Amino acid sequence: MRIGVYPGTFDPITRGHSDIVMRSLRVFDRLIVAIAPNPRKEPLLPLADRVELAKIVTKDMPNVEVESFDGLLVNYVRRRGAQGLIRGIRAVSDFEHEFQMALLNRKLDEQLETVFLMPSEEYSYLTSSIVKELAMLKGPLEEFVHPEVADRLRHRYRDLHR
């Protein structure tokens, strides 16, 4: 049984992320979507909301689990008995940062491989930041995120502007 970990901030989970989850299941038997608190990025959504939304989005996908993790990713991966990390790569602009992270993680655990997957080209420009900007400016969201994610973002911005 090959277990993969798909780590990220998921603030919020987008259709691009779900596309990567589905592609990962072609490579791994089981996938854990692992959500980092990542306070450095000052996420818009609390960790509990990010986990809840990722669970909603993946509820019909077999062999997918969602949980949060704290501390070093490599330690979490080892604890979960996973063999690989999944990262989505959209464009050359993603490459440098992803390359650094993959090499650092391999330095920390030489058994750990990072597998890069490309999302469908219709999501190649999509980022959580773009989705948040759209939500802040009351733009259309359903094309880019699950309807429950869209609702949550709208509520969050409404609360912030109250």
Q: Could you confirm whether 41 is annotated as catalytic?
A: yes
How many residues bind ligand PNS (CB under 6 A)? The answer is 11
Residue 118 near residue 106, CB atoms below 8 Å: no
Q: Could you confirm whether 129 is annotated as catalytic?
A: no
Among 27, 48, 103, 104, binds ligand PNS (CB under 6 A): 104
- Single out the catalytic residue among 15, 50, 128, 132: 128
Q: Could you confirm whether 90 is annotated as catalytic?
A: yes
Among 56, 101, 102, 130, binds ligand PNS (CB under 6 A): 101
- Single out the catalytic residue among 17, 50, 132, 156: 17
89 binding ligand PNS? (CB under 6 A): no
Residue 73 near residue 34, CB atoms below 8 Å: yes
Residue 13 near residue 56, CB atoms below 8 Å: no
| DSSP state, residue 104 | H
Residue 24 near residue 88, CB atoms below 8 Å: no
- Single out the catalytic residue among 41, 138, 155, 158: 41
* Tokens, residue 44: 């818009």
* Tokens, residue 142: 């359903």
Active site (catalytic) residues: 17, 41, 90, 128
